[in-house]
Structure formats: C-alpha cells, structure tokens
Structure 1
Amino acid sequence: MTAFRGELAALAAALIWAIASIAFTKLGRRLSPTALNVSKGLISIGLIGLTLGLRGAGPPAANGSAIWLLGLSGAIGIGLGDTAYFASLNCLGARRGLLLESLAPPLTALLALLVLQERLSGAAWLGIGLTVGGVAWVIVERSPDPGIPRDRPLRGLVFGLIAALSQASGAVLSRAALSTTDISPLWGTLIRLVAGLGVVLLWLLVKPAQFRSVGKEMSQLRSPRFLSIVAGTAFASTFLGIWLQQTALKFAPAGVAQSLLATSPLFVIPIAVALGDRVSLRAVLGVLVAIAGIWLLFWRG
C-alpha cells in the first residue's frame, strides 16, 4: 500500500479531525477562536519540537523558496484559515461549518491546476465530485446543532468561505514545497505551525485589548483538567492531524489529498451509531456516494 501512502494519510487525518471537531465545538464555548488557535498552536509546536529532538532529525536541507512557501502556507492556512474556521463553528455549528469546508477540495484542485499545472484525469475529477457531493449530502441531512445562535448566519458564512479558500491556498502552497524537496512532513508541519502562530501573535500585538482578552482566556489553562483536554485535542487534531495532512500533500495530488481530507463528516456516522443515534437512509446513501468517489480517487489511473 506504499503507492497510496498519501491517500491513506489523508483518510487517517479525516478520521482524527472528525473526532476533534466535536471537542473543538465544546472548547469554543470557553475559548474564543483566537485563544483556541494560540493554545493548540503552542502545545503542538512543543510536541513536534520534542518529537524531532527524540528522533535526532536536524533542520531540512532545502532551498529558501521551499521554506518560504511552507511558511506562507502556514500563515494563510493555519493563521487565517483555522481562526476563521473556529469562528464559523461558533456561528453555525459543526455540521454547517463542515459543509462550507467541503468547498475546499474543488478550490484546491482548481488552484493546483492554475498554479502548479497539476492536471487530474477525468476519473479523478469525478471522484472529487462524488466525494464532496456525498459529504455535503450527509451534512445537510443532519438536523441543526443545538445551542447555536440563530442571529449570525451571514457572519458564519463569511468566515466559512474565508476558511475554505485559506485551506485550499495553504494546501497548494504546501504541495508546491513538499513535492519538489526532501523536507519531511513533520518538519513541514512545524514550519507551518510556527508561521501560522506567528501571524496570530503579530495580529494580537497590534490589538492590545484583544491581546489582554486572549491572555485572560488562556489563564484557564492553569486548570490541570482543562489543560489536559486542550492538550489532548491539540495532540490529535494539530500534531497528528497536520502531520498526516502534510504527508498526504507530499505524496498525493493536492486536489485528491484535500478531497480525502474533507471526508471527516463520514466518520461521524459510525461514531453516532456507536453512541446510540439513529442514522437515516439518506445519510447511508450519502456515505455510499462518497465511498464511490474515494474509490475513484485511489484508482484514478
């Protein structure tokens, strides 16, 4: 299965993010999008630095342009994209927020075609369409999230669109850097996270009031229990999730990788069944359509 390492990494990341999205929605009730982004970024950078040290992995021997591309990818995809995504979740809830995120795969494929000249076969485009369509069908079918404000749909829509475009742009930039160099996915993850966190911190420095507000919110991390929850979520979603994402972008075309990364809602179905929820025939059909698309993305020729 070495030939499909990128595709398999993308599906593994999607599974992790499906579980993490539930935790992020709950954490969003106590931490603002910016505070959550900073918290998970700091924890994940520390974990990656520790991992690289234990593995004895020195800095990558790559040209400056590749490092710059990864940094820009992190600034856009993580610094801007994640903050916008968390804001969208707060306004719309997990299901509708994920629906807007389903726009990222086709945007990624189009940007990769325009910027990287990365042409996909007709089967791959059909696979992207089926996968995204099946995912969207599953999300739309579900009932609205309880406890989500009803007076901020436009705000949530704008943040969701910004998040989708940022994710697509970040994926293409990462693909451009990783596919042409020997930079490991783990080092790529660290570079992206540092750049993304740097953008957020610079923004806070020019907003003293918001900086103080975020600092006050993050004081909640002094609680061992709350810190363990945030750290566990950051380890899964950011440390493991982005590491797998970068592996996918290194070994699979950007549009294909991003489509498989967007299958998180499909993994929510078995989780819901395990928790005793009923799953409709429509949701099952949506999953089957998406699985057909995934099959095409693996054996696209």
Structure 2
Amino acid sequence: MGYEWLALAAAFLWAISSLISVHPARHLGPFSYSRWRMGCTAVMLTAMAAMIGGWGTVNASHILPMVLSGFIGIFIGDTALFACMNRMGPRQAGLLFSCHALFSAILGYWIFSETWQLAELIGALLVFSGVVTAIFFGRKGASNNDWEALHGKLAIGLSLGLLAALCQALGGIIAKPVMQTDVSPIAASAIRMITAFAAHSLFWLSGAKLAKSQQPITAKIFSITALNGFIAMAVGMTLILYALQQGNVGMVALLSSTTPIMVLPLLWLITKQRPNKYAWFGAILAVIGTGLIVS
C-alpha cells in the first residue's frame, strides 16, 4: 500500500475517533481524557512491538527524537486538540487542526527541501481548498446542536486548535529522520505514546487542577476511551509513521488533513442534518485533489 493510502486510512480512523471522543472528553476533561487514552494506547503498542520484535530495531539514536516527537505532537498537541473540541465541537476543531498540513508543508520545504510535482501541487491546493470550504462554510443553513455550539471564548478555542495543528506538524517533522531508518513504526509509535503518558502522569502527580478528572471515570467511559486510543493512536498514528517512511512530510500531512471531510457524512448519520451545498462542493474538490495526488 502506498503512503498516500496509508495517510488517507489514518484520516478516516481519526474521523471516527473524533466523534466517539466527544462524550468521554467532555466527561473527563481534556487532560484526564488524554491521560487515560495515552495510557491504554501505550500498553497496546508496547505489547504489539514486543510481539513482532519491533524493539530490536530501536537504537539509542532513535529514542530522543521520538521522545520529543511524542511530547510535542501528542502530549501538547493532542491535549490542545481535545480542549479545542470541547469548546468548538469536532467539525470546527477539525478545520483548525487541518492547518497542520500547511505548517508541515512549509517546515518540510524549509528543513528537508521537499518539493512537489505540478500535479501534486494542484491536487494539494484542491484538497486544502476543499477542506476549508466544507468545514468553514459547512455550517450555513444548519440548525444548532450541542456539537456545533461554542463553549467559552472563541479566541481561546482558535488558539488551542492552531496550537494542536502546529504541534502535530512539529511532531511529524521531528519523527521523519528516524522513520527513514529501519526502525519499526510500531515501536517508534510506542515510544511516542509512552512519553505522552509519562508527561500526563507527572502533570497529574503534581496535583494541578487541570489534570484532575471533571467527573469520575466509569466502565463505559473507559471502554470508549480505550477503543478510541486503539483506533486513532495504536492504528491511525502508526499508519502515519509508516507513511512517513515513504512520503514527504507535507504530502502525508495534507492527505491526513482530509479528516474533516470524512467527518461530514458521519455527522450526518449522527445528527440527522444533511451537509449543505458548500460541504458537498468542498468534498468534491478534496476528492478530485486526492485523486490527482494518489494517481
């Protein structure tokens, strides 16, 4: 499977996970939810890496970059994303998070001198335009629901979403050189998750109010959180690392930024509100752009 399809598969898994995250993230709070999610995922990936012999591919030079990637991209980035989602809902948070493609493309060109062919560039512009159109204008004509409502100040929500996007881009940039070696993506992903969970645990042990659960965790909330961790992080994020082994940072980030497009039909199923013409137009642009890229 080419890196393009790996990135698209990750985007689809992230779309599913973003929707099933809404209830547990609001129940526990962003820090507590991320801590439980990272803990479950770290256990899963550690076991998976051991079963396939992935730990034998890791050497000392891989550890620090992956620790930094995990701290910035997951501990800070993921927590900021869920805090944004709690304030703005999954669709609007998705728009802001999709900016990580732009950040990644700029950083990839600046650091790795990555260039795109004409067809890829046209496709990239269509995908990004489609994502922005579908999400930014997708709310017009739709009735309000709890997942669309703004909770708190808009400026804080915007800042959190852009911080999440920037951290996601930086996490990919830092991981890229390691992923060009023979390291197992599953073992590399496990290092990132262990780092994020350790950082969350230290923050919780500090007694900080933000780290505490807003409500007690229940068996149902734990099950949803563990499932989300498996879908989005154990599988989705590992697919991104596989994609980084083959493709450039900007293109992988661009294709994975189609998550907001994939959220639209899923939201339609859940809220029973059909996306408007802007959403469909944006989706068509993104599909055409993606076709140009993967072909």
Asked if these proteins are the same fold (TM beyond 0.5), I'd say yes
* Amino acid in the other structure paired with 1:240: V
Shift of 1:15: 0.7
What code does the residue aligned with 1:20 have? Answer: S
Deviation at 1:278, TM superposition (A): 2.1
How much does 1:95 deviate? 1.4
Letter in 2 for 1:182: D
Change (3 A) 1:269 1:90: closer
1:9: which partner in 2? 6
Determine the C-alpha separation between the residues in 1 that align with 2:151 and 2:41. 33
SS of structure 2 residue aligned to 1:229: helix
Q: Does 1:160 align with 2:161?
A: yes
Does residue 200 of structure 1 match 2:196?
no
Residue 90 of structure 1: how far off its partner (Å) = 1.2
Matched, 1:292 2:288: yes
The 5 A counterparts of 1:160-179 are 160-179=161-180
May I ask how many residue pairs the two structures share in their alignment? 289
Matched residue SS, 1:132? helix
Q: How far apart, in 2, do the equivalents of 1:196 and 1:169 lie?
A: 15
Paired letter, 2:78: D
Cα pair distance change 1:203/1:272, threshold 3 Å: closer
Provide the residue aligned with 1:210 in structure 2: 209
Give, in angstroms, the shift of residue 53 of structure 1.
Answer: 2.8
Give 1:39's match in structure 2, choosing from 36, 39, 55.
Answer: 36
**Distance in 2 between the 1:34 and 1:131 partners?**
32
| 1:145 Cα offset (Å) | 5.0
Cα–Cα, structure 1 residues 234 and 123, in superposed 2: closer, same or farther, change >3 Å? same
CA distance in 2 between counterparts of 1:101 and 1:272 reads: 17
Instruction: Indicate conservation of the 8 Å contact 2:49/2:190, yes or no.
Output: no
Show CA shifts across 1:168-194 (max 9, x none): 111111112102x10121111111112
Taking the TM superposition and a 5 Å limit, the aligned residue runs for 1:67-82 are 67-82=63-78
* Gap change, CA 1:59 and 1:217, over 3 Å in 2: farther
Aligned equivalent of 2:186: 186
Mapped contact 2:67–2:195 kept (Cα < 8 A):
yes
Match among 37, 45, 48 for residue 51 of structure 1: 48
Question: Secondary structure of the equivalent of 1:120?
Answer: coil
Partner of 1:249 in structure 2? 244
* Cα separation, partners in 2 of 1:116 and 1:63, compared to 1, 3 Å: farther
Judged with a 3 Å threshold, the aligned counterparts in structure 2 of structure 1 residues 126 and 63 are, in CA distance, closer, same or farther, namely farther
Matched AA of 2:37: K
The CA deviation string for residues 1-53 of structure 1, in whole angstroms up to 9 with x for no partner, is x4x2x111111111111111111122222011111111111101111122223
Q: Are 2:102 and 1:103 aligned?
A: no
Percent of paired sites with the same residue: 28
CA RMSD of aligned residues (A): 2.1
The 1:124/1:63 distance shift into structure 2, 3 A limit, reads: farther
Structure 1's 123 and 9: CA in aligned 2 closer, same or farther, altered over 3 A? same
Contact 1:103 1:164 (C-alpha < 8 Å) held by counterparts: yes
C-alpha displacement of 1:149:
3.8
Q: Deviations over 1:207-245 (max 9, x none)?
A: 42437x52x55851xx33222111111111111111111
1:72-151 equivalent positions in 2, closer than 5 A: 72-143=68-139, 146=146, 148-151=149-152
Instruction: Decide whether the 8 Å contact of 1:10 with 1:245 is kept in 2.
Output: yes
1:75 partner SS:
helix
Change (3 A) 1:145 1:277: closer
Is residue 2:282 matched to residue 1:283?
no
CA change 1:10–1:149 in 2 (3 A) is same
Q: Deviations along 1:151-177, whole A, 9 cap, x unmatched?
A: 311111111111111011111111121
**Alignment gaps of 5+ in structure 2:** none
